[in-house]
Every structure is written in structure tokens, then in C-alpha cells.
Amino acid sequence: MTDDTLTSALKLLPHGPEFRFIDRLCSLEPGKSGTGEYTVRGDESFLRGHFPGEPLFPGVLLVEAAAQLAGVVAQCDPTVRPMAGLKLTALRNVKFFGTARPGETIAFETQIVGRLNNLVQAEATAFVAGALVMQLGLTLSGEPRGKIDDG
């Protein structure tokens, strides 16, 4: 995929820039899998309170970033129309093994493992410096739009 395609795919996120936790989409197999990154800058407002003097990227935002990446992958599926109102609706087997600090880059990977009508199931992982920091299963849901060939 070209850099323009990857940049355009990120625009599918409904979030404003201040709540986007994927800076770069590194690879994309539309409707199947993708990888992305977020670099913890250190000036994010939430780091001031999480935790003063020991800033850590919150686990809940690791989950959000994984959901955002899964949403991009799902919305790019060439066989299914993008869904309006796509949201995170369920989490399974969430495990945290670490976190990220300012200056570190979090690498996310996700795979779509199933689709049923307006539901998308995905599995995701996050790594910092090659070390696994999170793994989970998630479900996204939105308003069904039908298959592309349905017209």
C-alpha cells in the first residue's frame, strides 16, 4: 500500500486528533489485518495525572488504540460497505504485561477474526521495544450497510 492510501485509511477514524491513538498506519490488508504505531510524546494532558512524576500511558488507552486500528481495518474491507457509528462494544481476555512511557513508540497489530452483520470481531496486540505489553479480543459494532455487490 502507498503512504497516501495508509494516510487516507486513518481518516476513517471518527475521532478528533486529540483522541486519536494511532499516529501512523504501517501496513494494511483491508478487511483482514493491519499494523500501526503511536509515539507517546510526553505532552499529552492525561499524562500529567497518570502518574505525576512517573508518567505511564494508560492501559485503557492501549485498548482504545487497538480498537481504533481494528476499526480502520474493518472499515477498509473492500467487500463490505463502511458502517456508520462504528464503536467498541465488547472486550475479551484483556491482558496487560507492561506499558509505555514518554518517548516510547507503541506498535499495534490487529486481525479481523470474524464478521456477522453489524459486528466485527478482532484480536489485537501491542508491543513496546519488541516486548508484548497488551493482548485482547474485541468486538466493534455499527449500523449495517450491506455488501458492496448488493448495490
User: Which residues, at least 6 apart from 42, have a Cβ–Cβ distance to it below 8 Å?
Assistant: 55, 102, 103
Nearest one of 100, 129, 7, 112 to 67, comparing CA atoms: 112
Buried (b) or exposed (e) across 117-126, using 16+ Cβ within 10 A? ebbbbbbbbb
1 vs 7, 9, 17, 56, CA distance in Å?
10, 11, 23, 33
Residues listed for the chain: 151
Query: Of residues 20, 24, 32, 50, which has the active-site annotation?
Result: 50
Residue 50 a catalytic site member: yes
C-alpha cell recorded at residue 60: 485503557
Catalytic residues: 50
